[in-house]
Structure formats: C-alpha cells, structure tokens
Amino acid sequence: MPVQLICCSHSPLMTTDIEESEQGVQAQFFRELDHCAAALHKFNPDLVVVFGPDHFNGLFYDMMPAFCIGTAAESTKDWHLQPGPLRVPRDLALQCIRYLQGRDFDVALSHAMKVDHGVTIPLYKLTGALARYDVLPIVINCAADPRPSFRRVRNFGAAIGDFLANKDMRITVVGSGGLSHDPPTPRLDMSSPSVVQRLIVRHTPTQEELDAREARVVTAARDLVAGKGPCLPPDEQWDREFLMRFVDGQLESFDAMSDVDIDRVAGFGAHEVRTWVAAASAVQRIGQARPELRYYHLVPEWITGMGIVVGQA
C-alpha cells in the first residue's frame, strides 16, 4: 500500500517574527518543510493521519485520556492560527476505534475534538489548509503527567497501522512534536491554585488570555537566547541520539525511555517525541517507508531542537 511518513517538529514561535539567533536557520527549516508539502501534494493522499499532542487547549485534567481519536474536529484559536473544522471521515474514525478496542486499546473518542497548534501547524504547513484532505486526528497525551509509556505508544501506533493496512488508500502519516524543548508549559504540581484550576477545568480562553499566555512564551524564548531561564536550552546530543535510533528504525529501543530523564535533559516538551514513535510504528505496519533525516538544527528562539524526517513507500 502506498504510504508516506512525515515527522516534523513544531513550535508556535515559528508563527511569529521573533528574531533569529543564527541567520538563515529558520529559512532553511521552512524550505525543507515546503519540500515536504510539495511531496505530500504529489503523493495526493486519500487520508492524512496526524499523531499530535495537546497543550491544555483541547484536553484537560478533568478527563485526560492517554489516546483520543476525533470523529469530528475543530481547531482552537491559539497563536492566531485560522480556526475552522477539519475534514474528518467519521465512519472511518469509528471503525478505527472499534478495531482498537478489539486489540485491547480502549481509546477515548471525541465527537467534537478541539485540536491546537500541535495538529494545526503541520496541517497548515504541509497541506495549506485544515480541510484540504481527509484527516484522522489522533491526540497522544504528552503534556499531562502521567503519560502513556513509550512501549504503549509504540504498540498503539502499530495497531493503527494494522487497521490502515487493510484499507485501499494512499495514506500520509504525520508525527508532530519534539524534539528537545522545555517551554513554559505549567505543571500541575508546580503551579499556583489559579493555574491548577485552569489545567483541570475545561476552559475556552478569551483572545486577551491567549495573547497574555503567548506573550509569556515569547519572553521566555528571548530569555533563553540570552542565556537566562526558566527554560532549559534544547539539547543537541539528546536530539541526535534520538534521531539516529529513529531513522534506523530502532523503535523498541525507546521503550526504556524515562520521563524523569527526559524532563532533566531534554525538557518538558520533549515528551512529544511520542507522536513520532507512534507515527513511525504505524508506517512500519503499512509499508516499507524507510525514514530519512532531512533537517536538524537547534533553534533557540523557537525554544526547540527542530527536525524533519520523511519516508515513502
């Protein structure tokens, strides 16, 4: 079956005009992302499957699933991204959920999923729109401790791949997240009571609240470039070790990854590499799309080690 893999880092700061710390690095990333977009359009998929995270914009601690599939989805308004509905094939999404239940994955479902920049940035950058292609949105909990283990994520991705392998479709699988980064995302056990309340109770922020939150992230990015806290700098050694094993297809080697070590070395946002592991595991069950590293660079003004890995069969 024709299958395409695109795993790419995202940073909401890439939607801003924040100053470059090294000339040309941002432009190089966007050029490579444009090449991926052209390859996707040429491939002309019948379905785009997006494994993405949420950043307490669509899912909250009032009911935090490890995995959630949307039968319908709409974007949030974070980072001034254009909101709107995704084109989700409802019957296919329900078939996928039922298939997963038969494989002992009691995945959550949403008939009104809200997806934030973790899903919308790759859709806009790779397809040009939220609803240009049929999209199956799959959110993996990467921000809310406790998270699903890497082994569980890998097996979950494989089960998705087994489901898709029986479909007569051209499929693009996207993993959106990572690499090392430590954004100022609030932690439940390190926050004030008012912030804890926001993490637990489902809340649609006003544009003023979004702007204030996003301004804090921009300030944190500029502080990071200047060598100040609170964010850990992205870690090139950690990124390259992950990418080497990832491109070699050593997905089982990530089973032993410790969340404590990720927090300590690679930062709170690096948990998002779960989306890459799930996406690659799915593709391994569909076709022989050997991954290839197309871009890697530290982009401190985006608080992130940015990478792009692609494959096609």
Check if the beta carbon of residue 313 is closer than 8 Å to that of residue 170. Answer: no
Which pTM does this prediction carry? 0.95
Check if the beta carbon of residue 232 is closer than 8 Å to that of residue 267. Answer: yes
The catalytic site residues sit at 117, 181
Q: Strand, coil or helix: what is 222?
A: helix
d(CA 68, CA 54): 11
Handedness of CA 224, 230, 233, 239 (dihedral sign): negative
Check if the beta carbon of residue 9 is closer than 8 Å to that of residue 178. Answer: yes
d(CA 7, CA 178): 9
Handedness of CA 260, 261, 262, 263 (dihedral sign): positive
> What is each CA distance from 190 to 46, 193, 199, 232, 303, in whole angstroms?
44, 10, 12, 16, 20
Handedness of CA 140, 134, 167, 4 (dihedral sign): negative
Check if the beta carbon of residue 224 is closer than 8 Å to that of residue 300. Answer: yes
> What is each CA distance from 182 to 2, 29, 206, in whole angstroms?
36, 20, 25
Check if the beta carbon of residue 25 is closer than 8 Å to that of residue 304. Answer: no
Sequence-distant (6+) residues with CB within 8 A of 41 are 127
How high is the pLDDT of residue 48? 98
* Residue closest to 66 by CA, chosen among 278, 239, 304: 278
With residue 68 as reference, give the H or E element that holds it.
strand 67-70
Spans of all domains in the chain: 3-312
CATH number of 3-312: 3.40.830.10
Mean per-residue pLDDT pooled into runs of 10, the chain (313 residues) = 95 92 95 98 98 93 96 91 94 98 97 96 96 98 96 98 96 96 80 80 81 88 90 95 97 96 94 98 92 96 97 90
d(CA 82, CA 116): 11
d(CA 273, CA 67): 15
